[in-house]
Structure 1
Amino acid sequence: MTDCGCDKAKAELEEYLHRELSDQDFRDITDHLENCEDCTGEHLVGVTLTLKMQRACQEKAPEELRAAILAKLL
């Protein structure tokens, strides 16, 4: 195992969260997170924000509001 370091782990955190890294880079960052409290904290914040955004994007406006907006657009 080679520690990729905090700079790389933090720079590629977004890609890591979305599994957009090569398998080797993903493993390197995973290994780093297992041993770095600071980066693990950043990862937790990233996971929390990602989950909140995913939930927020699933919400729909109330039907009355949607109808009123569509009526204004026509």
Structure 2
Amino acid sequence: MAYKHYIDLNKCKGCGLCVDVCPKNVLEISTDVNEKGYFPAFQARPENCVFCSTCCIMCPDVAISITETKDDTNIV
């Protein structure tokens, strides 16, 4: 199965909760500001993502999602 990890950069407030709980240290807080004036999270090391969904569960803004894809390769 292949999965896609997606962060809605304009929903993310940059609270950092997802960064703190990621077991593979995939996420970081961006130095770029989103349209609401926040520094959103992003996948700094997408190749390390194991699609555990801990970040999705922790996100208070529901800005992160992991979905199954039809392709056999993981799309990050």
TM over 0.5: no
TM-score tier (shorter): under 0.3
When Rg is computed on C-alpha atoms for both structures, the one with the higher figure is 1
TM-score by length of 2: 0.25
Which structure is richer in relative contact order (CA contacts within 8 A, separation 6 or more)?
2
The structure whose residues are more often strand, as a share, is: 2
The structure whose residues are more often helix, as a share, is: 1
TM-score by length of 1: 0.25
